[in-house]
């Protein structure tokens, strides 16, 4: 089969090959493959120059007072471990736990921890209002200028808070994204695949987006905000996707969004394909809800504070994330129905290109990795990543179609029905 494929490739014209592979090249080649390699080479040259000139390494010596907010629902099994990873990890800090109407005694577990650890406040909400409601409930009790949000089932790496606050030296910065990595990477092949994806897209991908000034997401699992920015934008709006929505509103208000790649937290990833599919559908609904409806005014050049970087975010979503997913699906259907003899070699060609891209990304991740031994184990499944990403794109295709046609996100249980019914349906 390999020989037949090589012969088939050799007989194709350059135009035919580009026609068969352009969706892949656009989706990953331009966005990640080439750009991250250039970034890596630049940083390697700069590091070598710094070593030769004996420049001192930057220090994490900016230490503003911080309020850490942990908002969750029915996380009694994990909240104590999360609190233990946060408490005492930063010199000037208060912790606020918000129980969003839990029924498993989460607030009681947090309260027992608070009795033995100073600086911990526990807030009980009698009725569940959703994550946005829980985060907003903490704001009146915040005394610090920097608000760090951590999921109640996450675990902070040492020094994470000290690193995530460093970009706030710049008074123009309104939010900083931390890096989320897998805590259960070795559980199964599926979690290994997700762990490798997180290293590529969350760790390195957001590093690139931040430098280009087009970062549009701060993960709800671990992110930091300037309290002034939160107050001026009204806090979190009703989700799902409340983290991405808030960042876009901050960008429209003129705030900068940065990434702290070495401020890392570990979180558990879905362990079944069904749960992963549901998770990605929920995430991708936001691409239609926000970038195609609620925040489409980012493209309005007449808007005060218009920035080309905000327009670039919309164009990236419209073209790379949405249009090319439909285009790739249409191309696959076209080959399968009208030119079935070309489908297998076309898929093999795209697989070979995808593997080349993934191998370059593996080298980039290993260059930046603070824990090469851990991350190398996750990246051993690189040969399977093309098939995994095909599954992820299928989930995206379903999500976009659902949201365009039926506004599916507003029937999701992520937000309680009594809250969703009173929310504007974007």
Q: Is 54 helix (H, G, I), strand (E, B) or coil?
A: coil
Q: Is residue 379 part of a domain?
A: no
Q: Is residue 283 part of a domain?
A: yes
CA distance 77 to 156: 17
User: Are the C-beta atoms of 160 and 265 separated by less than 8 Å?
Assistant: yes
Q: What integer pLDDT is reported at residue 7 of this predicted model?
A: 73
Helices (H), 54-168: 79-86, 106-116, 131-138, 160-164
Average pLDDT, stretch 172-201?
A: 95
Q: Is residue 194 part of a domain?
A: yes
The pLDDT tens digits for 221-265 are 999 999 999 999 999 998 778 889 999 999 999 999 999 999 999
What is the average pLDDT score of the chain? 89
Q: Is residue 142 part of a domain?
A: yes
User: Are the C-beta atoms of 82 and 153 separated by less than 8 Å?
Assistant: yes
Q: Is residue 61 part of a domain?
A: no
Q: Is residue 293 part of a domain?
A: yes
Residue 150 pLDDT > 70, yes or no?
Answer: yes
Q: What integer pLDDT is reported at residue 335 of this predicted model?
A: 76
Q: What integer pLDDT is reported at residue 87 of this predicted model?
A: 95
Q: Is residue 425 part of a domain?
A: no
pTM above 0.95, yes or no: no
The pLDDT tens digits for 318-376 are 988 899 889 888 888 887 787 787 777 777 877 888 888 888 899 999 999 999 988 99
Provide the CATH number for the domain around residue 104.
3.90.550.10
Residue 26 pLDDT > 70, yes or no?
Answer: no
CA distance 153 to 130: 16
Torsion sign, CA atoms 313, 316, 322, 323 = positive
Q: Is residue 217 part of a domain?
A: yes
pLDDT, greater one: 350 or 316: 316
Q: What is the dihedral of CA 51, 57, 58, 60, to 10 degrees?
A: 150
Report how many domains make up the chain.
Answer: 1
Give the domain extent around 110. Answer: 66-299
Q: Is 238 helix (H, G, I), strand (E, B) or coil?
A: coil
Q: What integer pLDDT is reported at residue 347 of this predicted model?
A: 79
């Amino acid at each position: 089969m390999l020989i037949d494929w090589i012969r088939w490739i050799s007989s194709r014209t350059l135009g035919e090959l580009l026609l068969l592979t352009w969706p892949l090249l656009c989706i990953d080649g331009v966005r990640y493959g080439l750009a991250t390699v250039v970034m890596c080479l630049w940083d390697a040259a700069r590091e070598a120059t710094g070593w030769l000139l004996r420049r001192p390494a930057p220090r994490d010596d900016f230490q503003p007072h911080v309020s850490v907010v942990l908002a969750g629902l029915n996380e009694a099994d994990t909240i104590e471990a999360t609190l233990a990873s946060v408490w005492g990890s930063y010199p000037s800090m208060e912790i606020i736990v918000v129980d969003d109407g839990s029924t498993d005694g989460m607030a009681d577990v947090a309260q027992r921890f608070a009795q033995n650890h100073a600086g911990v406040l526990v807030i009980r909400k009698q009725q569940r209002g959703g994550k946005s409601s829980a985060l907003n409930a903490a704001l009146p009790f915040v005394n610090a200028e920097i608000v760090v949000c951590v999921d109640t089932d996450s675990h902070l790496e040492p020094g994470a808070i000290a690193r995530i606050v460093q970009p706030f030296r710049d008074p123009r910065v309104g939010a900083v994204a931390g890096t989320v990595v897998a805590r259960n990477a070795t559980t199964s092949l599926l979690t290994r695949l997700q762990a490798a994806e997180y290293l590529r897209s969350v760790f390195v991908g957001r590093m690139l987006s931040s430098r280009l000034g087009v970062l549009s997401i701060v993960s709800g699992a671990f992110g930091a905000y300037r309290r002034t920015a939160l107050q001026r934008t009204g806090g979190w709006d009703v989700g799902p996707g409340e983290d991405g929505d808030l960042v876009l509103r901050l960008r429209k208000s003129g705030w900068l969004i940065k990434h702290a790649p070495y401020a890392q937290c570990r979180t558990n990833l879905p362990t079944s394909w069904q749960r992963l599919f549901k998770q990605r559908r929920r995430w991708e609904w936001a691409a239609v809800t926000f970038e195609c409806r609620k925040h489409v005014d980012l493209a309005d050049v007449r808007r005060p504070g218009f920035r080309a970087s905000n327009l670039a975010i919309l164009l990236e979503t419209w073209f790379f994330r949405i249009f090319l997913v439909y285009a790739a699906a249409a191309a696959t259907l076209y080959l399968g129905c009208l030119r079935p003899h070309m489908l297998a070699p076309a898929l093999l060609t795209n697989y070979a290109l995808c593997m080349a891209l993934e191998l370059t990304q593996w080298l980039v991740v290993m260059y930046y990795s603070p824990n090469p031994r851990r991350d190398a184990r996750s990246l051993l499944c690189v040969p399977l990543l093309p098939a995994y990403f095909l599954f992820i794109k299928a989930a995206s295709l379903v999500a976009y179609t659902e949201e365009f046609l039926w506004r599916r996100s507003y029937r999701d249980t992520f937000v309680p029905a009594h809250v969703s019914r009173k929310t504007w349906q974007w």
